[in-house]
């Protein structure tokens, strides 16, 4: 009876623990998006060259997430999750006392190591605790409270930057991390695995490929000679091919190739990557445009962006009935098209239009983004076998972070290209942002074709019985 009560309590608290982890990450990223111009000014850097502070964190997540499953299996989900919370909080502290861009990037890497373990291990514990017919609802509950982060991020970040200093924006994570540690000591289940074997060679090959491809995108925006960029890309693709050859013969590769024999997983991975290439840059580009092109404060840009997170909460309440009624294929194809059109709509207002015209566009976009992300993440794991749960969950998380990093880099590269064409933009930087929105919006519309590979019945086992 006591064990049953403890299990029931764990099921209630565990989604909240995962939500707190995501909350810290989302708060951190959204605060940085609206504060990037102020940080750049203080550090005497161009806002368009501040991608190192963002991409270094995202890339660290992508590199170290593959280790999360192994560490959780070996040391237990409880120990790893608590250690990750502590590491993330320490990284936040170091960010807050950074005095230059190099220190900030190093601190972001420390944050990224904590984040690479924190959310995937929390999600893994959730997957192992809940049966599949309850998993969608549990994961949805885990994400709803975390959406407070994107609401508070732009607003709190704006006020702190305008009235105090950007150094304070990272300190918010610390009390949340302390509360998370205290709750985890009591409620985080401690799952381990008897079968332990870490694929070091595969980790190095896959991580190296991810690093090289990310770096190639980062330096592409500033490169005057494309030869070094192409060489880095080719080397990255070579390491990816070497990983493929390795995974075909290794008995326990870090990411088994037979994961991709599961069609829903394959479509979810490719769709997540393609869709986020267009979506991921918007939370950075829009506040940047409002501050640079319109000359508004960080507070104003925060108020413009915040409605995206508010409507996302409504989307989380809506996604389950929508998926139950329409299925994953119809939902994802239609939803991706709508998001792409909305991104293109950001290009409609000109420099003489009130910036508050962006609010309804952002409000609607947040709703559909919420449905998109939940749908893509759950369809990816819907048909995985139990023995593929850890590796599949890790690869979904790695893919998601790489897609975000690629999307941010892609958006900034497109913006710089348009900014350099003074004739096209008529020497007006706002037009560079408008053309960038049209480009990434069109890419998002095209990415919806990936979900045509889904069948109408795919994801039925994820539907709630309620």
Say if residues 358 and 300 touch (Cβ distance below 8 Å). Answer: no
Mean pLDDT to the nearest integer, 180-204: 80
Write the burial class of residue 136 (CB in 10 Å: 0-12 exposed, 13-18 middle, 19+ buried).
buried
The predicted model scores a pTM of 0.74
Task: Please check the confidence at residue 2 and state whether its pLDDT lies above 50.
Answer: no
The residue with greater pLDDT, 164 or 6, is 164
Least confident of 12-21, 332-341, 368-377, 409-418: 12-21
Residue 296 has a CB neighbour count (10 Å cut-off) of 18
Strand segments (E) across 198-352: none
Question: pLDDT tens digits for 367-392?
Answer: 898 888 888 888 887 777 766 666 77
Identify the pLDDT of residue 341.
94
* H-helix or E-strand spanning residue 322: helix 307-345
Identify the pLDDT of residue 224.
65
Q: Same domain, yes or no, for 346 and 232?
A: no
The residue with greater pLDDT, 441 or 14, is 441
CA-CA-CA-CA dihedral for 336, 34, 157, 351, to nearest 10: -100
Identify the pLDDT of residue 3.
44
Q: Same domain, yes or no, for 383 and 241?
A: no
Task: Please check the confidence at residue 4 and state whether its pLDDT lies above 50.
Answer: no
Name the residue among 196, 272, 231, 188 with its Cα closest to residue 451: 272
Confidence band of 140 (pLDDT split at 50, 70, 90): low
- Number of structural domains, the chain? 2
Mean pLDDT to the nearest integer, 72-84: 86
* Alpha-carbon span 307 to 361, nearest angstrom: 9
Residue 379 has a CB neighbour count (10 Å cut-off) of 26
Say if residues 51 and 409 touch (Cβ distance below 8 Å). Answer: yes
Q: Same domain, yes or no, for 207 and 261?
A: no
Task: Please check the confidence at residue 466 and state whether its pLDDT lies above 50.
Answer: no
Q: Same domain, yes or no, for 180 and 267?
A: yes
CATH number at residue 138: 1.20.1250.20
Q: Same domain, yes or no, for 63 and 112?
A: yes
Residue 420 has a CB neighbour count (10 Å cut-off) of 10
End-to-end, the C-alpha distance of the chain in Å comes to: 26
Q: Same domain, yes or no, for 301 and 384?
A: yes
Buried b (16+ CB within 10 A) or exposed e, 25-45: bbbbbbbbbbbbbbbbebbeb
DSSP 217-257: HHHHTT-S-HHHHHHHHHHHHHHHHHHHHHHHH-SS-SS-G
Last residue of a domain, one of 209, 224, 253: 253
The distance from CA 420 to its chain's CA centroid, rounded to whole angstroms, is 29
Confidence band of 304 (pLDDT split at 50, 70, 90): confident
Residue 417 has a CB neighbour count (10 Å cut-off) of 16
Q: Same domain, yes or no, for 246 and 260?
A: no
Close Cβ partners of 235 (under 8 Å, ≥ 6 residues apart): 212
Q: Same domain, yes or no, for 106 and 242?
A: no
Question: pLDDT tens digits for 227-249?
Answer: 777 888 899 899 989 988 998 88
Mean pLDDT to the nearest integer, 130-142: 70
Question: pLDDT tens digits for 309-322?
Answer: 778 778 877 888 88
Identify the pLDDT of residue 305.
79
Last residue of a domain, one of 210, 235, 253: 253
* H-helix or E-strand spanning residue 76: none
Buried b (16+ CB within 10 A) or exposed e, 317-349: eebbebbbebbbbebbbbbbbbbbbbbbbbbeb
Q: Same domain, yes or no, for 185 and 233?
A: no
Q: Which domain holds residue 208?
A: 199-253
Buried b (16+ CB within 10 A) or exposed e, 74-90: eebbbbbbbbbbebbbb
* Alpha-carbon span 400 to 377, nearest angstrom: 9
* Alpha-carbon span 331 to 324, nearest angstrom: 10
Residue 101 has a CB neighbour count (10 Å cut-off) of 18
Task: Please check the confidence at residue 402 and state whether its pLDDT lies above 70.
Answer: yes
CA-CA-CA-CA dihedral for 233, 237, 240, 244, to nearest 10: 180
Question: pLDDT tens digits for 455-465?
Answer: 877 766 665 54
Q: Same domain, yes or no, for 249 and 283?
A: no
Least confident of 111-120, 187-196, 403-412: 187-196
* Alpha-carbon span 82 to 184, nearest angstrom: 7
Q: Same domain, yes or no, for 153 and 221?
A: no
Distances (CA, A) of 131 to 17, 78, 159, 254, 450: 18, 20, 43, 25, 28
Q: Same domain, yes or no, for 259 and 386?
A: yes
């Amino acid at each position: 009876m006591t064990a049953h009560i403890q299990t029931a309590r764990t099921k209630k608290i565990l989604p909240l623990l995962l939500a707190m982890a995501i909350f810290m990450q989302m708060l951190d990223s959204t605060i940085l998006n609206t504060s990037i111009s102020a940080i750049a000014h203080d550090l005497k850097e161009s806002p368009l060259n501040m991608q190192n502070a963002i991409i270094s964190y995202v890339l660290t997540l992508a590199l170290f997430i593959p280790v999360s499953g192994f560490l959780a299996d070996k040391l237990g989900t409880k120990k790893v999750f608590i250690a990750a919370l502590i590491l993330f909080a320490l990284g936040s502290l170091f960010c807050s006392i950074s005095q230059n861009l190099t220190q900030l990037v190093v601190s972001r890497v420390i944050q990224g190591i904590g984040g690479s373990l924190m959310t995937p291990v929390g999600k893994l514990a959730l997957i192992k605790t809940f049966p599949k017919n309850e998993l969608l609802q549990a994961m949805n509950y885990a994400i709803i409270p975390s959406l407070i982060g994107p609401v508070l991020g732009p607003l709190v970040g704006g006020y702190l930057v305008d009235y105090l200093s950007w150094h304070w924006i990272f300190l918010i994570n610390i009390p949340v991390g302390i509360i998370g540690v205290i709750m985890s000591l009591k409620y985080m289940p401690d799952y381990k695995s008897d079968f332990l074997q870490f694929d070091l060679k595969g980790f190095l090959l896959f991580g190296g490929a991810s690093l090289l491809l990310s770096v190639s995108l980062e330096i592409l925006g500033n490169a005057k000679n494309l030869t070094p960029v192409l060489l880095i890309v080719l080397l990255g693709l070579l390491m990816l091919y070497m990983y493929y050859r390795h995974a075909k013969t290794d008995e326990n590769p870090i990411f088994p190739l037979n994961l991709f024999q599961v069609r829903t997983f394959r479509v979810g991975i490719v769709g997540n990557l393609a869709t986020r290439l267009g979506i991921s840059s918007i939370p950075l580009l829009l506040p940047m445009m409002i501050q640079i092109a319109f000359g508004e404060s960080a507070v104003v840009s925060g108020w413009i962006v915040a409605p995206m997170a508010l409507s996302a909460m409504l989307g989380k309440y809506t996604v389950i009935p929508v998926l139950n009624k329409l299925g994953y294929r119809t939902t994802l194809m239609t939803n991706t098209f709508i998001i792409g059109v909305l991104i293109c709509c950001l290009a409609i207002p000109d420099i003489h239009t009130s910036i508050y015209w962006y609010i309804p566009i952002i409000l609607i976009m947040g709703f559909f983004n919420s449905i998109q992300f939940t749908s893509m993440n759950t369809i990816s794991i819907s048909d995985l076998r139990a023995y593929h749960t850890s590796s599949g969950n890790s690869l979904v998380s790695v893919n998601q972070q790489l897609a975000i990093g690629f999307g941010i880099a892609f958006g900034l590269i497109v913006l710089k290209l348009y900014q350099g064409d003074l004739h096209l933009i008529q020497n007006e930087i706002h037009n560079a942002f408008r053309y960038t929105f049209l480009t990434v919006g069109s890419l998002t519309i095209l990415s919806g074709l990936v979900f045509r590979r889904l069948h109408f019945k795919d994801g039925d086992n994820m539907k709630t019985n309620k």
